[in-house]
Amino acid sequence: MATLRDIQKRIKAVNSTQKITKAMKMVAAAKLKKVQTRMLDLRPYADKMHDVLTSLAKGADRESHPLLAFRPGKTVEVVVVTSDRGLCGAFNTNILKAAQVCIDDYKKDGFEVSISTIGKKARDYFKRREVPVRNLWIGISGNVRFASAEEIADDLKENYINESVNEVVVVYNAFKSMVAQTVTKIKLLPLSPEESGEEGAASESEASDFIYEPSMGSIFDRLIPRNVDIQIYRALLESSAAEESARMSAMENATQSCDEMVSSLTLQYNKARQAAITGELMDIVGGVEALKG
């Protein structure tokens, strides 16, 4: 049975842990506010840019730009975006499970899969399983810069243009709310608008009415590579915001658990102290009765 001193030490340790979790929650809240502002500012731009290029691509020749070209081969690159640090609940577990399912599905369909990772958690996950990783980036989580997105995008574009892969998909956690993140998979390359039936035919007809100035080639050369940069940048910002919100929730839950543990330990301490006092009183009463005898 734990002594009073042992229980006091445990209460002190839990209180110290609670101070740390509270501080980490405040730090995560401050980081979230900054990255959330950047993410919300970028979302409309990224969405509109993708929509415009999708519309333009519907009426364009697929060979007009290397990043539009379809290839018959079954080679795909999966880019997995996680955090560099833990203590954020199931944030990394969810994305890694989804990425593994995505990879397994491609392999079942006969695709040859290569993997690139962003974040230490994804790197460590595949390293433990001895799965080869083509390229990796760390140190971006919590410090997202557009230059980092450009570096990653340039590598993916080069890998696609030299025909090492025929498709590039990105798996990441998108920020939905302060308490929810959504695992998201986007097809980054090639830029391939989904179209079907009459709606698709109408869209293609509308796309053919565009007037390109100065020319379709110059517009595609400038905007399609930039769109890849923007979509990678958005994925990094979304993932960073989702990470900080997940960490806030995890630290809030940890703080509440500390409160419950302190209450339980305090009750245990009071019971043990009461038992000790009762034992001492029994010894005194026993001694007095012995003296009377």
Active-site amino acid positions: 88
Closest to 57 (Cα-Cα) out of 234, 237, 235, 187: 187
Asked if residue 247 lies in contact with residue 30, where contact means CB atoms within 8 angstroms, the answer is no
Sequence-ordered strand ranges (E) for 83-217: 112-118, 135-137, 167-177, 180-189
For residues 182-204, one letter each, b for 16 or more C-beta atoms within 10 angstroms of the residue's C-beta and e for the rest, the string is ebbebebbbbebeeeeeeeeebe
CA-to-CA distance for 173 and 250, rounded, in angstroms? 16
Which amino acid makes up residue 287? G
Q: How many residues does the chain have?
A: 293
